[in-house]
Every structure is written in C-alpha cells, then in structure tokens.
Structure 1
C-alpha cells in the first residue's frame, strides 16, 4: 500500500561520512538522497552529510497533493536544522536551501546553491529568455496533464539529466523512481517561476550574511547562468564558480570538482568543533 502524507515529520533522511562538520544536502527533482554519495565519500573524514529524501522520492512517503509542496518541503527540511550547518542544495533542492537561509539565517553557516532553478530571477533580469524556457517545458507539462507520467519523466530527464544515459538504458527501478516523483514538478512552480515565498522582495536576499557559493556547469542551460549571476548581484557575500565540462547534474557527474569547491567554501567559516 502506498503511504501518502502532508506531515513534515515523516520525511526520511540518511547520512554519509563521519566528519565533524555537519552538512545538510538537498537533492534535485526525481533524484534521491543517494545523489550526494559520491561527494560525501570524498569528504567522509571532514564532514557528515545529512541528506533527506523529498516526499515522493527515495524512502520518504508520497506527497498526497494537498497544500503547497515547496512550503511543505521547507518545513520538513527545517526540522533537520537543529544547530548551525553548511547547507547545500542542487536544482530544486537549491531553492529549498535558499529559503532555509532566509528563514533560519543563524542556523545556516554557509550556503551553496548548485544550479538553482529560480527562474523568477531570470524573469526579472532577462525576460526575453522566459518564453524559451516555457516552450521547452511545455511537452513535459502537457504529458502530465494527459496523465502520462512516464513520458513526462522521460522528457524532463532528457532536458535536465546528465546526458550520458538514454532512458531505455536506465535501470527499471531508476525509471520507476523518476516517474514516481515527476508529479511534484508543476507543484513547485509557485516557488520557481512565481516566487510566491517572496525571496525577491527588496531587502530579502540582500539581508543574507553567510558566505554563499553559486555553482553551475559550463555546459548548463543559459537560464541557469542568468539565475546564478542574478543571485550573485543580490546576495552580499555571494561568489559564483563554474565547473568546466559539467552540465546540470554536476554533483553526480563531477563529484571531485564539487567536493573541492565545497571544501574551499566551508573553510571560509570555521566549524564550532574546530574552535
């Protein structure tokens, strides 16, 4: 029997590594917490990665479709911030990480946003790109509206996956996991496209005081470049860097480069256990 929920306390997480530094790592849509395994393995003596599975992903129960999904996920991952942590998010996970930094600035020691899909930034800074993104995503949303989750997941993975594995060549369980989670995509639009949480209101991002690292791959989509540059202009202590040869899935495809950049970023703020 499938378990569904809107209870933020039912989120499932696991940890990787055994280092003193505590890292909260938030994965992207249609992935799971294991996406951080490669990066965490390279930093296992330095950090412990606490990695939750989003609802309808990994080992967490399915979202029942009630309420606002970004709000639910923000409440759920907030429960894992019981002391200052380095917060790292990828894609939609980066959206959640940014909301945590705004909501709990004293508990976010450093913030890392990897390929954040905050398209509301691009709508403000490069409005000419917005129609292109909407057109690119139209087949995915049309498939979902038609009830074809498998096609929607396949199209979304083609556009935003690692580009190295064709859909038919993926393991059956991997395809099933992507199909299971794809329904949260339109449910996330309120935060991604419309900025319903109000992060772009004057003074909100400008109030962030922690060091912020914005990462993207050199082979990513143009819109991500606009988003990263736009966030860097709005956040006082932000810097952005590019991983050469990487696309959207750089934490998975380029764990070594990602770990190196995280290590350097974390060094900007000493862990309490080092004092």
Structure 2
C-alpha cells in the first residue's frame, strides 16, 4: 500500500521489534513506551490504513478484508525473528502472525487483545448491535461515542477521522467475533513456542479477562500481568508500567 506512514524508534540493532497499535489510534502511541524501553529494542511501527498519517483505507471488491490487509503489511516488515508487540486490534494481528509463522517471533506481548471469538460476551454483542443500528441510520458520531465509551475515552468532539474509522471498526466483526482468519484453529496457539505475555488493565471490560483466560489456557509459554488503575488504553495512560512489563517479556526471550 502506498501512503503508509512508518515509524521508527532506534535502539539495539540486534533486537528488532514491531509494535501494532489499536483501532482509532496511531503508531505514535508507542512513543512513550519506546522512550521508557530506552533503546533495548530497535522498535518499528506504522499507522494502519485510515489512521494517523497514513492514507485512508481503500477496500476493493476482490481485495482482502481490513484485518488481513493489516496483517500482510505487518508481516512484510519482518525479515528475521523479532519481538512482536500489539495492543487491542493490533494484538490480534500480532497473534495471527505468530500462529501463521511462529518461527518469526522471538517474544510476543499482547496488550488487551480483542479476539472476541475466544470468549463470546453478551455485553459486547449488545454494543456491536447498537453500533450497527446507529451506523445503518447514518448516526456515525453516536456509534463512535458508543464504541469509545467502552473501549476508550469519548473526546469533546467526534472528528471526521473518527467518523471514517468507526466504519472500519464495524467492519472487523468477521475477524474478531467470528475468527475468519482461524487464529483459534486447533493446534495453532499451541505451536507458538516464544514467550507470550498477556497484559490487561485492572479496570478493563470483563470480556478482556475472559479472552486472556481462553488464550492462556492454550499457549505453551505464557505469563499474565494486570496494570492497576488502567483500562483498555493502558499503553497510553500507563506507558511506564506497560513498558516495564514488556521489558520483562523481552528478558524471557
């Protein structure tokens, strides 16, 4: 894809790392974490299509869905085993890469992965239904506010970028709710031999713990961590704590 904004926080050239941000965010969210890691890894990232400084997402009738497109962009940046870090939607992309190519991952840190297929949740189903109804009625700002009230912070004004992004969020159902990428296929998680760390905020929606429980039960080498006082956006609100936990997983690899 042209118009993809790349980000780079230089560090140890022998320790490449790739970080994948959440929906309705941008790669800039990793800046404070990179600073806290103080060059331990050579960290790269990018703004997903339709986010940050990257061009808008332009789907085509015969092209991949959004989750697949982002996965391909991320995978194309991997040329040797690296430390893979993801938050929320980005964490599901990271997990998809690790399942497909476990040999490419040195360590895997998953912060609040939103792979709802791992733990179906009535509250999330209700939110998805409400958002779909609002979007069908063209009430995109209300749909964005509903989403952010659970998964982020509602800004004083819903801008044009968020109105575009909420349509992207709504289009991820097949991947996140129905596991169209088959991340949870039999034997998939079990073949990840890199150390995995699952991080969640203490104040996150309950479904996050359920997802983490389901993933942890199948991963061969997994650790769990909870960030006190944090919600779903822990990398932005508690970067020092999150960076410290990432460092622990780097040590395990």
Question: TM-score, with normalisation over the residues of structure 1?
Answer: 0.85
Residue 23 (str. 1) matches residue 17 (str. 2): yes
Residue 141 (str. 1) matches residue 125 (str. 2): no
| SS of residue in 2 equivalent to 1:62 | coil
CA contact (8 A) 2:66 2:172 kept: yes
The structural deviation recorded for 1:18 is: 2.9
For residues 220-259 of structure 1, the aligned pairs below 5 Å read 220-259=204-243
For residues 1-275 of structure 1, the aligned pairs below 5 Å read 7=1, 10-20=3-13, 21-66=15-60, 67-123=64-120, 130-161=121-152, 163=153, 166-168=154-156, 175-269=159-253
CA contact (8 A) 1:11 1:60 kept: yes
- Describe the shift of the 1:48–1:177 C-alpha distance in structure 2 as closer, same or farther (beyond 3 A): farther
Number of equivalences: 249
- In the alignment, the residues of structure 2 paired with residue 19 and residue 255 of structure 1 have an alpha-carbon distance, to the nearest angstrom, of 20
- In the alignment, the residues of structure 2 paired with residue 26 and residue 144 of structure 1 have an alpha-carbon distance, to the nearest angstrom, of 27
CA contact (8 A) 1:31 1:178 kept: no
C-alpha RMSD of the superposition: 1.7
The structural deviation recorded for 1:105 is: 1.4
| SS of residue in 1 equivalent to 2:226 | strand
Question: TM-score, with normalisation over the residues of structure 2?
Answer: 0.92
- In the alignment, the residues of structure 2 paired with residue 112 and residue 167 of structure 1 have an alpha-carbon distance, to the nearest angstrom, of 28
The structural deviation recorded for 1:58 is: 1.1
The structural deviation recorded for 1:264 is: 1.0
The structural deviation recorded for 1:75 is: 0.8
CA contact (8 A) 1:115 1:216 kept: yes
Could you list the runs of 5+ residues in structure 1 that have no partner in the other structure?
Answer: 1-6, 124-129, 270-275
The structural deviation recorded for 1:50 is: 0.6
- In the alignment, the residues of structure 2 paired with residue 45 and residue 74 of structure 1 have an alpha-carbon distance, to the nearest angstrom, of 25
Q: Does 184-193 or 216-225 show the bigger shift?
A: 184-193
Q: Structure 1 segments of 4 or more deviating over 6 A? A: none
Q: Does 58-67 or 101-110 show the bigger shift?
A: 58-67
The structural deviation recorded for 1:10 is: 4.9
- In the alignment, the residues of structure 2 paired with residue 115 and residue 60 of structure 1 have an alpha-carbon distance, to the nearest angstrom, of 24
